[in-house]
Amino acid sequence: MDRIIRAIAADGFINMAVIDARDTVQRAREIHGCSPTACAALGRTLCAASLLGSTLKTEKGSLTVRVQGGGPAGILLAVSDAQGNVRGYIDNPAVELPLKSDGHLDVGGAVGREGMLTVIRDVGMREPYVGSTELVTGEIAEDFTAYLLESEQVPSACGLGVLVDRDTSVRAAGGFIVQLMPGAEEKLIDELEENIFLMDQLTTILDEDGAEEVFAQVLKGFSYELLEQTPIEYRCTCSKERFGRALACIDPGELAELIESGEDAEICCDFCGARHVFTPGELAELAARRERDDDQEQA
């Protein structure tokens, strides 16, 4: 079962969360038919969105991470609800590059480094809160760390990883964010970074020892306490009704054309691949409802 686990350390001056998201990333890979490199890029973005999204204080809030680096992967998008359930999308799921000299998937090459990482927080206010920073490496974790420091002024360290097996299934996926709370001594971040530098590879820990061991290695030398665990999953919020509302908003001429064609209209969800079919009768109903709504507005 995928989950997010939280901990506090150093008398509450350090906050840490770990996500174990193998099934979630595997599901994303199946939906989008991702190549290993696309799977790693999208998987890391999903994990980051989930970690941040799960800290939203508004139950119905959502958090969107958008990565546009100018690379062959195109735009990556991940949307999390306030519990950390995520869905995502990558422009080019077939992108594949040669392995880097260290044997790792070339996520930075696929994503590109010329662009922005944008985080949109929707907490039910009239305007969502939007923050963005320039990409650093396109490897996602470094970009995220830069975002948290520059845009949110929180000294943080972040690790994200996806291990793709030889049969291209996802063997391990997850990540962590560790942050200093206000009033913490700055040198704490140096100690954490030292631990992170020395720790085993994140996906190896998740694969072999489990998420709890990530805390043990990142927080080595600190006293810490594990707090709550939250189950998370790949979860889309689309429905035929939602797509119907969107269809009712397209250009009236286009809608009339669809109805006159006499054929079913099929819309495919970008996030989960679900196909929502509207018969000409249902489309006519949408058009009629729209006219009624327009009349009401004018009245």
Q: Interface residues with Zn ion (CB under 5 A)?
A: 236, 238, 269, 271-272, 274
Least distance from Zn ion to the Cβ atom of residue 243, Å: 9
Least distance from Zn ion to the Cβ atom of residue 248, Å: 18
Least distance from Zn ion to the Cβ atom of residue 242, Å: 9
Instruction: Identify which of residues 273 and 281 has a Cβ nearer to Zn ion in the complex.
Output: 273
Tokens read off for 284? 């006519």
Least distance from Zn ion to the Cβ atom of residue 31, Å: 9
State how far the alpha carbon of 282 is from the alpha carbons of 241, 244, 245, 286, 294, in Å.
11, 9, 12, 6, 18
First to last CA, the chain: 53
Least distance from Zn ion to the Cβ atom of residue 137, Å: 31
Instruction: Identify which of residues 274 and 284 has a Cβ nearer to Zn ion in the complex.
Output: 274
Instruction: Identify which of residues 202 and 238 has a Cβ nearer to Zn ion in the complex.
Output: 238
DSSP letter for 278, please.
E
188: which strand partners? none
Tell me the Cα Rg of the chain: 21
Q: What angle do CA 236, 111, 117 make, to 5 degrees?
A: 70
Tokens read off for 28? 């994303």
Instruction: Identify which of residues 62 and 133 has a Cβ nearer to Zn ion in the complex.
Output: 62
Instruction: Identify which of residues 242 and 289 has a Cβ nearer to Zn ion in the complex.
Output: 242
Nearest to residue 48, comparing CAs of 162, 176, 147, 134?
176
